[in-house]
Amino acid sequence: MRWVRPIRLAGLGSHQDADGLGWRVVARLQERLGSNADVAANALAGPAGLLDMLDGTGTLVIVDAVQSGAPVGTLHRWRWPGPEFVQWGGTSTHGLGLMEVLPLAATLGLLPPVVEVWGVEVAAEPVPKAVAAAAEVALVEELLATSTQEMHDVQDHSRSR
């Protein structure tokens, strides 16, 4: 299923270096997108904030830092509900975890028909700062380009109808 409007982009994280990836991506998306009634980007301190954004319509794209053991900078893109989500477990040590929030939103009829999680692999162990920064910048750009393309596709698709 292609993305459908309205599109909601949510960056999860904090102000801290690696964990701040979701917020930095969202900040750049906000700059790039400007004011667009069909696309909203929000920085959230935790998954529970997603519940405030959703009304059962459109597309939700969640951006977060991930540690799965893959090389630093690897871009993950998962469509909900996929097999990857099962192994994430159900609870979080920070209030409510993503794997509690998404099923809860579905139970309450708030989950949009299209939900994607974009994860960027960050380091579990310290890596040289320049290496991590370069990888992150490159991947942020790729993320921006892909999401911008998706949004153009949505608009083209909408115009062709």
Partner 1 sequence: MTATTRTIQVDALARVEGEGALTLRLRDGIVEAAELRIYEPPRFYEAFLRGRDAAETPDITARICGICPVAYQMSAVHAVERIYGLTMTPTLRVLRRLIYCGEWIESHVLHVFLLHAPDFVGQPGALEMARARPEWASLVKTGLRIKKAGNSIVRAVGGREVHPINVKVGGFYRLPRRTELAALVPELTWAEQAVRDCLDWSTTLDYPEGDGAYDFVALRHPDEYPMNEGRLVSTSGLDADVTEFDQHFAEQQVPHSNALQARKRQDGGTYFVGPLARWNLNHDRLPAAIQAAARAVGLAPPVLNPFRSLGVRLLEVLYAFGEALRLIAAYEPEGPASLPVEPRAGTGHAATEAPRGLLYHRYATDAAGHILDAVIVPPTSQNQAQIEDDLRRLAPTFVDLPEEQATWRAEMLIRNYDPCISCATHFLRLKVERS
Interacting residues toward partner 1 by CB under 8 A: 14-15, 43-46, 48-49, 51-52, 90-96, 100, 103-104, 107-108, 110
Cα separation, 36 vs 160, whole angstroms: 20
CB of 51 to partner 1, least distance (A): 5
Q: Which is nearer to partner 1, 70 or 95 (CB)?
A: 95
Comparing CB distances to partner 1, the nearer of 29 and 154 is: 29
Is 121 exposed, middle or buried, given 0-12, 13-18 or 19+ CB atoms closer than 10 A? Answer: buried
Alpha-carbon dihedral sign for residues 66, 144, 20, 3: negative
User: Least separation, in Å, of the C-beta of 28 and partner 1?
Assistant: 17
Smallest distance from partner 1 to CB 15, Å: 5
Written as six digits, the tokens of 124 are 């579990």
CB-nearer residue toward partner 1: 87 or 107: 107
